[in-house]
Homo-oligomer: A and B are copies of this chain.
């Protein structure tokens, strides 16, 4: 596991390539929630999501020779955009395997950031096979969106910045999908927080992380019928032990609660956030009692939405 000083070094290493995103508050949301929430706005991060941190950390950790051959990932979401942009900044190729069914808007975004798209059948097997083939052909290094240690550490740097700015947070809450952001945040808070509790938030519809913490093994989702499309994936063997050690609880929320929280943030804070990010505020509003009067950090994970397809 990364040591405290190494963590600060890693943060310094990626800083020239990322934004130090702002920490915002909303008087009205604080009144509604009867608490004080500090929103770390990774929707303003480069590529539109915290994923830029992990992608950058992983690529910078490669040797120069490794980097030359490029990087590869299979993702249809924010990690694909982040890897494309991170690779572009370092002038190396990024190969992105995407299911042929991925929305055009996501493919366009990857292309904007310079990623080279390989389409495959929309199933895990085809994805893995395509990635393997490209790897063999190009020698590119595979990067996992959430289950790779340097990616996880990179994601945690948002919490480092948040705790530098607001050192006395009692709790930090993040959405949990693949588990990279939650695990990274938990590690960072363990090093840089003052007895800061870490919570995850996820939709009832994909409550694999909740069930995994209960059962002690990585659970899967029988269906993935949620509006929070960044949270459909399951935990991995690298991040699950960290989550088991450092995360107190996973709070689950209903779909309508997610939509309401998303609308509240758009209307009141005038910022564009993804449904996945709204899950964390929905959790605070649902469990008002346990958050009452605390100072809470909340990581807004991203702001990449399809404006033609909003839930309100």
A263 and B307 form a contact (CB under 8 A): yes
A303 and B270 form a contact (CB under 8 A): yes
Most buried by B among A43, A266, A272: A272
A44 and B270 contact, Cβ closer than 8 Å, known pairs A308-B312, A310-B310, A312-B308: yes
CA gap between A270 and B270 in the complex, in Å: 9
| Chain B nearest CB, measured from A171 CB (Å) | 25
- Whether A271 is near chain B, meaning CB under 8 Å from some CB there, is yes
| Chain B nearest CB, measured from A102 CB (Å) | 18
CA gap between A272 and B303 in the complex, in Å: 11
B272 and A270 form a contact (CB under 8 A): yes
CA gap between A22 and B109 in the complex, in Å: 27
**Inter-chain contacts of A48 with B (CB < 8 A):** 270
| Chain B residue nearest to A22 in the complex (CB) | B22
A307 and B307 contact, Cβ closer than 8 Å, known pairs A270-B43, A270-B44: no
CA gap between A266 and B310 in the complex, in Å: 13
| Chain B nearest CB, measured from A210 CB (Å) | 29
B307 and A267 form a contact (CB under 8 A): yes
CA gap between A73 and B22 in the complex, in Å: 36
**Inter-chain contacts of A303 with B (CB < 8 A):** 270
| Chain B residue nearest to A43 in the complex (CB) | B270
**Inter-chain contacts of A266 with B (CB < 8 A):** 272, 307
Interface residues in A245-280 by Cβ distance below 8 A to B read: 263, 266-267, 270-273
CA gap between A22 and B48 in the complex, in Å: 19
| Chain B nearest CB, measured from A278 CB (Å) | 13
CA gap between A263 and B303 in the complex, in Å: 13
| Chain B residue nearest to A27 in the complex (CB) | B46
CA gap between A22 and B307 in the complex, in Å: 24
**Inter-chain contacts of A312 with B (CB < 8 A):** 307-308
**Inter-chain contacts of A272 with B (CB < 8 A):** 266-267, 270-272
**Inter-chain contacts of A310 with B (CB < 8 A):** 307, 310
Give a binary string over A274-304; 1 marks a CB under 8 Å from any B CB, 0 the rest: 0000000000000000000000000000010
Interface residues in A116-143 by Cβ distance below 8 A to B read: none
User: Chain A residues in contact with chain B, CB under 8 A?
Assistant: 22, 43-44, 48, 263, 266-267, 270-273, 303, 307-308, 310, 312
Closest 5 CB pairs of A and B: A270-B303, A270-B272, A43-B270, A307-B312, A266-B272
Q: List 20 A-B contacts (CB under 8 A).
A: A22-B22, A43-B270, A44-B270, A48-B270, A263-B307, A266-B272, A266-B307, A267-B272, A267-B307, A270-B271, A270-B272, A270-B273, A270-B303, A271-B271, A271-B272, A272-B272, A307-B310, A307-B312, A308-B312, A310-B310
